[in-house]
Amino acid sequence: TCSESLSKIYSEKHGMEFGFIRNGVDIEQYRYAEPDKKTEMKQRLGLPLDRIIVAYSGQFIERKDQEFAIEGILSSKSAEKVYMILMGDGPKFKQIRETYSENSKLLFTGNINNVSEYLQASDIYVSASKSEGMPNGVLEAMATGLPVLLSDIPQHMEVLEINNKYGMSYHLGDRADFIEKFDALMEKDLVCMGIEAYKTANNEF
């Protein structure tokens, strides 16, 4: 399997014993962005320089639950400080984009081939996934030097338990907890947390 937590699930629920090799991240493609590089990338991509950029990448499907993250962030006390980039496509893409078409705090990129550049321009990564194998999007964000806010599914917790200095978790489906954790993360030293994320991605993934 692609994660230790998935291996445990197969064992406990189905009595099937599998070893695991965790998904990894291409650290040549996804590279740490120093603050100056981050500013340069924001300018190149036409992103606001006066906002904290929050990224979310992945297929627009029920399991990824982008709407939960969007609603939580827009309802937070930090909402006016934030600009959110949602990368990817899928069955729910058009409906979600249409729902928020009037909101100037959100950018829907669709499928793109420069995800790494948008991650380098970002400051925080979120994932509200209901299930994962081993989340590639999270690993890519970490390799780029982003702190993470993740749902507390086993695969996300496996990533966070390696080093608790680069991210936070919230209870899956609990909007109040998501908002509380997001606002708390916004008050932290995002640069220092990002360095920890980068180190861990390089050393462990």
As a whole number, mean pLDDT of residues 180-186 equals 98
Q: How many CB atoms lie within 10 A of CB 43?
A: 11
Q: What is the mean pLDDT of the chain?
A: 96
Residue 73: alpha-carbon gap to chain centroid = 13
Q: pLDDT band at 164, cuts 50/70/90?
A: confident
pLDDT in tens, 111-137: 999 999 999 999 999 999 999 989 999
C-alpha 7/C-alpha 62 separation (Å) is 23
Residue 103: alpha-carbon gap to chain centroid = 21
Kindly state the DSSP code that residue 30 receives in the 8-state scheme.
S
Model confidence, pTM: 0.94
Angle among Cα 183, 184, 190 to the nearest 5 degrees reads 100
As a 3-state breakdown, the chain gives helix, strand, coil percent values, each rounded to 5, of 45, 15, 40
As a whole number, mean pLDDT of residues 88-99 equals 97
Q: pLDDT band at 139, cuts 50/70/90?
A: very high
pLDDT in tens, 96-105: 999 999 999 9
Q: Are 185 and 149 in contact (CB under 8 A)?
A: yes
pLDDT attached to residue 8: 93
pLDDT attached to residue 104: 96
Q: Which residues of 185-200 are buried (b: 16+ CB within 10 A; e: fewer)?
A: bbeeebeebbbbbbbb
User: If we measure between CA atoms, which residue out of 151, 138, 119 comes closest to residue 23?
Assistant: 138
As a whole number, mean pLDDT of residues 45-71 equals 97
C-alpha 119/C-alpha 181 separation (Å) is 21
Residue with tokens 């189905």: 14
pLDDT attached to residue 195: 97
**pLDDT tops 90 at residue 41:** yes
